[in-house]
Amino acid sequence: MKSRLNPAAWVMFTSLVIDLIGFTIILPLMPKLLDHYSLTGGASISFLESTVKTLQETLNIPEKFNSVMTGGVLGSLFSFLQFLASPLAGCLSDCYGRKPALLVSMVGIAASYALWVVSDNFILFVLARAVGGISKANVSLATAVMADITDSATRAKAMALVGVAFAIGFIIGPVTGAAFSAWGIDSNEGNWWFWPAMFSLTLTVINFGFLSVFFKESLPKEKRAKSLQLSQTWNLVNPVSLFKFQLADGISKKDLEKLKVLGRVYFLFLFLFSGLEYTLTFLTHLRFNYNAAQQGKMLLFIGLLMAFFQGGLVRRVKPGKEKMLALIGLGVIIPSFVVVGLSNSATALYFGLALYSLGSAIVIPCLTAMTAAYGRADQKGAVIGTLRSLGALARAFGPLLSSFVFFVFGAGPCYCIGAVGLILPFVLLRQSPL
């Protein structure tokens, strides 16, 4: 008999799609936003730009690469704050339930978009991003919900559904953002970002209402953790404790060792992958002179392929085969970055992006499904929250390192170095007895 997903999985899928459309709208707008705040001035952005310019002049680097480094610094802020918040949200949801934690997260995300609506200066914009980073625990919580309502037969399918939601978000959101960007270029209004920000805010309000009505608590009171120990607070933000999965107290030693391996693989992959992913739009802008519309089309291509691979491949993976599929994904994504980094034509670029889409569609859902298999019901939030926090930590520092390598050496060396580095998580996963 074919295993069917719990209806709550589709509720979470719909919520994630709504959320990720709003979240990704800003991606093609970021260069224009930075240009706007640079032109309008302000002490904070002037200090950041002058610091980057001093570094550029000291290292004798072409000035056109300055935006890469500036964007890298801002791009890391959001993920660093998410790194701080995700495990805490997971632990709180283990004690008080998934639904209250999800709704609180939605309120915070809405507040961040409301700040973006009125961000007529750089400080307000940074504050909006900071509030969003602290509040962005809903993806981690959604993954914990999927772990609550699945078993070994349906877990990979549910995690693939999370991946499909990301793919759909990256299909619709950037294209919508590109349309807003094109409209903003032709608009003479000073606050041209008002409508994309308001659109994201509206989606979040709708999402709050949707979850309030349709999501039924997935963690019954009798399965919840009895209390959140204050002694755990340091473990929530201590990278050493996170790599040891110390929040998941009570897991057998054998399973804990496997979680540690998965945590290292997950971190190393996302540390390198996120940095190269973040600099992709800078590569196409500098090498191929892509505008916002062309960037949107490129992200649409990636999103469509990811949705196809996740819906047609990852959702069909049999229990116990997740490791093999993750290795295939890692094996494909390594050459993809070499092809993209060395591409000198749109044909070569899109061939590399096709490989990239296949690899990125596979690796994260499979690693997440493998991790979600460990721990009791009252530990799932802590386990998944820790994994997501390791990912956020990787995304906080990965773009900084890649942006710096791109800034100093250029796109080709940056992507080739990243591809070589990705061999490490491949070997680590392959040799582990998972």
pLDDT in tens, 20-78: 999 999 887 877 787 777 777 665 566 666 776 776 666 666 565 566 666 677 777 88
The sign of the torsion formed by the CA atoms of 114, 120, 126, 129 equals positive
Closest CA to 26 of 292, 402, 290, 407: 292
Predicted confidence (pLDDT) at residue 434 exceeds the cutoff of 80: no
| Spatial distance between the Cα atoms of 325 and 369, rounded to a whole number of angstroms | 12
- Residue 10: the pLDDT is 93
Q: DSSP secondary structure string, 261-314? A: HHHHHHHHHHHHHHHHHHHHHHHHHHHH---HHHHHHHHHHHHHHHHHHHHHTG
Identity of the amino acid at 114:
A
Residue holding tokens 């952005």?
45
Interior/surface letters 7-35, b for 16+ CB within 10 angstroms, e for the rest: ebbebbbbbbbbbbbbbbbbbbbbbbbbe
Ranges 23-37, 64-78, 156-170, 318-332, most confident: 318-332
Query: Global pTM?
Result: 0.78
pLDDT of residue 363: 92
**For the chain, give me the number of helices (H) and strands (E)?**
18, 0
Token pair, residue 240, equals: 């050493």
Over residues 374-397, the pLDDT tens digits come to: 877 777 777 887 887 888 889 888
Please, what are the domains in the chain?
A: 7-216+251-431 (1.20.1250.20)
pLDDT band at 349; cut points 50, 70, 90: very high
Q: How much is the pLDDT for 210?
A: 97
Residue 117 and residue 140: Cα distance in Å, rounded? 26
The alpha carbon of 425 is separated from its chain's Cα centroid by a whole number of angstroms, namely 18
Residues contacting 110, CB < 8 A, separation 6+: 201, 204, 205, 208
What are the structure tokens assigned to 188, written together?
């003479």
Cα dist from 296 to 172, 192, 299, 333, whole Å: 9, 18, 5, 21
Q: What is the pLDDT of residues 189-228, one digit of tens each?
A: 567 788 899 999 999 999 999 999 999 999 998 888 877 6
Find, among 427, 90, 87, the residue nearest to 265 by Cα: 427
